[in-house]
Structure 1
Amino acid sequence: MQKKEGVMEKIVSLAKRRGFIYPGSEIYGGLAGTYDYGPLGTLLKNNIRDSWINRFVRDKENVYLIDTPILLHPKVWEASGHTSEFIDPLVDDLVTKKRYRADHILEENGVDAEHLTLAEMDAKIKELKLKSPDGNALSDVRRFNMMLETKMGAVEETSVHTYLRPEEAQNIFINFKNILDSFSPKLPFGIAQFGKAFRNEITPRDFTYRLREFEILEFEYFIHPKEKWEALFDAFLEEQTQWLSSIGVDTSKLTPFEHPDTARAHYSKKTVDLYFEYPFGSKELTGLAHRGDYDLARHQEFSGQNLGILEEESKERILPHVLEPTVSIDRAILALLLSVYREVPDKEGTRVYLAFPPHMAPYKACVSPLLKNKPELVAKAREVFLAFKQGLGWVAWDDNGNIGKRYRRQDEIGTPFCITIDFDTLGETPELKDTVTVRDRDTGEQERLTIAQAIERVRQASRAS
Structure 2
Amino acid sequence: MEKIVSLAKRRGFIFQSSEIYGGLNSCWDYGPLGVELKNNVKRAWWRRMVQERDDMVGQDASILMHPRVWEASGHLEGFTDPLVDCKQCRQRFRADHVTGKTCPECGGELTEPRNFNLMFKTFMGPVEDQAAVVYLRPETAQGIFVNFNNILTTTRKRLPFGVAQIGKSFRNEITPGNFTFRTREFEQMEIEYFVKPGTDEEHFHKWVETRYKWYKELGISPERLRLRPHAQDELAHYAKACVDIEYYFPMGWSELEGIANRTDYDLKRHAEYSGNKLEYFDQELNEHYVPYVIEPSAGADRATLAFLLDAYHEEPDKDEIRVVLRFHPELAPVKVAVLPLSRKEPLTDMAKEISQELRRHWNTEYDDAKSIGRRYRRQDEIGTPFCVTVDFQSPEDQTVTVRDRDTMEQTRLSVAELVPYLREKLDNR
- 2:49 alignment partner AA: F
Say whether 1:132 aligns with 2:108. no
Partner residue in 2 for 1:176: 148
Distance across 1 between alignment mates of 2:190 and 2:381: 31
Distance across 2 between alignment mates of 1:157 and 1:338: 45
1:47 aligned counterpart, secondary structure: helix
Say whether 1:381 aligns with 2:351. yes
Say whether 1:194 aligns with 2:162. no
Superposed CA offset, 1:282-330 (max 9, x none)? 1100100000110000000000001111232453321000000011010
1:296 aligned counterpart, secondary structure: helix
Partner residue in 2 for 1:87: 80
Superposed CA offset, 1:113-138 (max 9, x none)? xxxxxxxxxxxx12xx7742344444
Partner residue in 2 for 1:400: 369
Q: 2:70 aligns with which of 68, 77, 82?
A: 77
Aligned pairs for 1:270-349 (under 5 A) are: 270-349=241-320
The question of whether the paired residues in 2 share the 8 Å contact of 1:359 and 1:461 is answered with no
> Could you tell me how far 1:403 is from its partner in structure 2?
0.7
The question of whether the paired residues in 1 share the 8 Å contact of 2:245 and 2:256 is answered with yes
Superposed CA offset, 1:167-223 (max 9, x none)? 011000000010112122211111110000000000110000000000000110001
Identical counterparts, % of pairs = 48
Q: 2:409 aligns with which of 420, 432, 445?
A: 445
The question of whether the paired residues in 2 share the 8 Å contact of 1:70 and 1:165 is answered with yes
- 2:194 alignment partner AA: F
Partner residue in 2 for 1:435: 399
Aligned pairs for 1:27-106 (under 5 A) are: 27-103=20-96, 105=97
Partner residue in 1 for 2:379: 410
Distance across 2 between alignment mates of 1:234 and 1:226: 13
- 1:246 alignment partner AA: E
Q: 2:137 aligns with which of 129, 142, 165?
A: 165
> Could you tell me how far 1:15 is from its partner in structure 2?
0.5
Superposed CA offset, 1:380-436 (max 9, x none)? 11111112112x230001111111111111111000111110111022xxxxx1111
Partner residue in 1 for 2:180: 208
Distance across 2 between alignment mates of 1:426 and 1:315: 73
The question of whether the paired residues in 2 share the 8 Å contact of 1:48 and 1:247 is answered with no
The question of whether the paired residues in 1 share the 8 Å contact of 2:336 and 2:362 is answered with no
Distance across 1 between alignment mates of 2:172 and 2:186: 11
Distance across 2 between alignment mates of 1:283 and 1:157: 40
Q: Could you state the TM-score of these two structures normalised by the residue count of structure 1?
A: 0.89
Q: Which runs of 5+ in 1 are unaligned?
A: 1-7, 107-124, 428-432
Aligned pairs for 1:110-125 (under 5 A) are: 125=99
> Could you tell me how far 1:360 is from its partner in structure 2?
1.1
Distance across 1 between alignment mates of 2:103 and 2:127: 45
Distance across 2 between alignment mates of 1:341 and 1:463: 22
Partner residue in 2 for 1:455: 419
1:265 aligned counterpart, secondary structure: coil
Superposed CA offset, 1:250-270 (max 9, x none)? 221112112223322222111
- 2:316 alignment partner AA: P
Change over 3 Å in CA distance of 1:237–1:157 after alignment to 2 = closer
2:232 aligned counterpart, secondary structure: coil
Distance across 2 between alignment mates of 1:172 and 1:199: 19
The question of whether the paired residues in 1 share the 8 Å contact of 2:123 and 2:129 is answered with no
- Aligned-residue Cα RMSD (Å) equals 1.6
- 1:409 alignment partner AA: R
Distance across 1 between alignment mates of 2:321 and 2:102: 43
Segments ≥4 residues shifted beyond 4 Å: none
- 2:368 alignment partner AA: D
2:159 aligned counterpart, secondary structure: coil
Distance across 2 between alignment mates of 1:158 and 1:98: 29
Partner residue in 1 for 2:394: 425
Question: Which segment drifts farther, 242-251 or 79-88?
Answer: 242-251
- 2:158 alignment partner AA: K
